[in-house]
A and B are shown apart, each in its own frame.
Chain A
């Protein structure tokens, strides 16, 4: 598979048989990859394909994996990012790893400060070297500025400068342009060309087709933890690349959803969710769509598409609020807080159940009744027997497996935890269910049960707006699809039109639908 090497020169680094498991889940299996000097290797794949895990292994973040890494002909096993850096591998992660309260210069030398005798930091030398480095990289940045006072784009440049401060030979960039504007992207690409000329290898993760075409020399595609193939970028047309990324058997593991849509339940017009950190670029821009009773509308999109922000904004939970017009069952509504949204019959299952879904130290009963507490405790006094009764009913319906309903949810498995969150939202008898990754981190059996539940719910007339990063799941469950790219709608697809290729192409920015089309036109 690695026959597409650019030249007979020796690779900077070889990965052989890299395999990584999280518990019973294999996220990377037997990946072989060579990194050559002077090339940009694009790492492509769907969400969850294993890209991040692979670079974390290379960057010394994940240390228990099977397989071998050779750097400069020597077997290496970086046990920390610092060790990886010493081996010449620097990873620029998406979540910035800067200390916000320190200056640019301090951050550049974080972890390996320039010191005088006695361990005192030599601020003057650090500042001078930082300035020289920034100048060499052509980054206009004051080394004395505190990082938290910089806009996100400048912070990202600081991160890049930090990675390039040492003698890095392999530089890994995980979607480095997600916060950059066009001139900054152009500048970054110029930097990458310089680094190539110096003989570095740049491993570049992106979800954007145009970037892949602009700077990629070779493309390596991961799918479900396996390396599907490596090819020179010029020999990999879009449709073949997309096929590599998604080309798995859909199989019969997904019960196909059969909709009998009723009246329009939700209608959004000109819905915009601003980003408090970036007034110029909202997370969701001018989105219009509708969901009918008994229907599952799928929201497609890759990381940064704004699909989650759309759900949070609709639920009154977005940090910067939301604008636009919302109708529920034909009635115009304003949903300014989660409490209001819940009273109106909305439920939001978030993508991170531990951070935003469950109260881990509380019991199954307490979690299940939390959103419906007002109705369950008339006059303020709780009725434990009634709480137990409704929780028992829901746990039977969801096939929740727990020794006792008084157990703390922290002790449950991922699938059962997810069922508790679902139970919490079903308990309020919602009209509209907003689901963000309802099957994330859930075992196959529980997944199937969740699919069946969604089918049963829509049969009862519930409307569902669904996000899932598993494309086959999205295609099987959604009656209609709305695909977002950087906060805007790029495609509206009926189930019959939706294929992995059309969805992924739209998610990567290929426009197939007018962004401001009226929802009526698509339904």
Chain B
């Protein structure tokens, strides 16, 4: 979000502060400092705390990857929480109840998620429906899909037999794999998946033509169109990728809970947006990046963790989080020279 050129008269601090990455980093360091002050009898200094924190923020982080793409293009996607639930129940149904192989189930779930996103994208691109409205509709619709697929109940390892009785089937291996840890139990696979998603999103944004077109679209849609940017295709692709990332998050969520919950992911879209904004990506589009989103994810994730290890009651936690988001965004706002 550098608006003004660094002038010679600018101090080193001003130049540092002009870089959105340094501002996001300062926010993160402040939160970590908070953790050092309120360490809950040393709990904050234990490796396990950080491992858990990372694991807990990973699903949100995966959603935030897709959200970053959409927000940079000047849009917003409210449907990711519902698409996550749709992905989770579909994945659970296919693997647990229908006994599909993970190699088949995962691509199908990803495709369904991408289709949900593409539908939102098409509504904004072709019918010029505002992204807020189009994805609000998809948020409701996908939640309905999740409930239809699951019959309104959690899809778990308790499988109903033809005679009406329930029988427990073993948890598929893919669930165990995704929920496991590597590096001597210090890094969860879900976090690895997050890093892979972030790497893909970063490559697209920073190194691919598509990413440049997303920035151009968010920065000035009319100028982009007049420069030959395929506006409709780029928008649809952005939302489709966002849906795809939401489906990945759904698979991870299902694996962690060992079931597909049609009520999963409610409100997650707001956390994902908060992460992106906390990182310093501009909600107006055209400015921001994947690295910023990772910093934003750590800030929000650690904030949650620090509040929870200090046993702050949920009610106060929510209010505090709200206040801190506003403070962080205010601190990041650039003053015009």
Contacts and interface: CB of A to CB of B under 8 A. Distances in A.
A377 B209 contact: yes
A317 interface: yes
A370 interface: yes
Contacts of A73: none
B3 A411 contact: yes
B210 A380 contact: yes
B224 A370 contact: yes
B1 to A, nearest CB: 8
Contacts of B215: 359, 361-362, 366
Chain A interface SS verdict (over half): helix
A350 B227 CA distance: 11
Contacts of B213: 373
A454 to B, nearest CB: 20
Most buried by A among B1, B213, B229, B287: B229
B209 A374 contact: yes
B219 A371 contact: no
A453 interface: no
B265 to A, nearest CB: 31
A424 B209 contact: no
Nearest to B218: A361
Interface string B273-303: 0000000001000110000000000000000
Interface string A307-344: 00000000101000000000000000000001100110
Nearest to B229: A370
A339 B219 contact: no
B182 interface: no
A407 interface: yes
B15 interface: no
Interface in A405-436: 407-408, 410-411, 424
B207 interface: yes
Interface in B207-247: 207-213, 215-216, 218-220, 222-230
A446 interface: no
Interface residues of B, number: 30
A403 B5 contact: yes
Nearest to A373: B209
A362 B220 CA distance: 10
A360 interface: yes
Contact of B219 (A343, A359, A384): A359
A382 interface: yes
A356 interface: yes
Contacts of A408: 2-3, 5
B165 interface: no
A355 interface: yes
Contacts of A120: none
B223 A382 contact: no
A484 interface: no
Contacts of A407: 5
A338 B209 contact: no
A373 B212 contact: yes
Contact of B224 (A343, A359, A384, A411): A359
B222 A355 contact: yes
A411 B226 contact: no
Contacts of B211: 382
Nearest to A404: B5
A381 interface: yes
A43 interface: no
Nearest to B226: A338
11 contacts: A339-B229, A343-B228, A356-B220, A358-B220, A361-B282, A361-B287, A366-B212, A366-B215, A369-B212, A370-B223, A380-B208
Interface of B: 1-6, 207-213, 215-216, 218-220, 222-230, 282, 286-287
Given A361-B286, A370-B212, A370-B229, 14 more contacts: A356-B222, A359-B216, A359-B219, A359-B220, A359-B223, A361-B219, A371-B228, A374-B209, A381-B209, A382-B212, A403-B5, A408-B2, A408-B5, A411-B5
Interface of A: 315, 317, 338-339, 342-343, 348, 350, 355-362, 366, 369-371, 373-374, 377, 380-382, 384, 403, 407-408, 410-411, 424
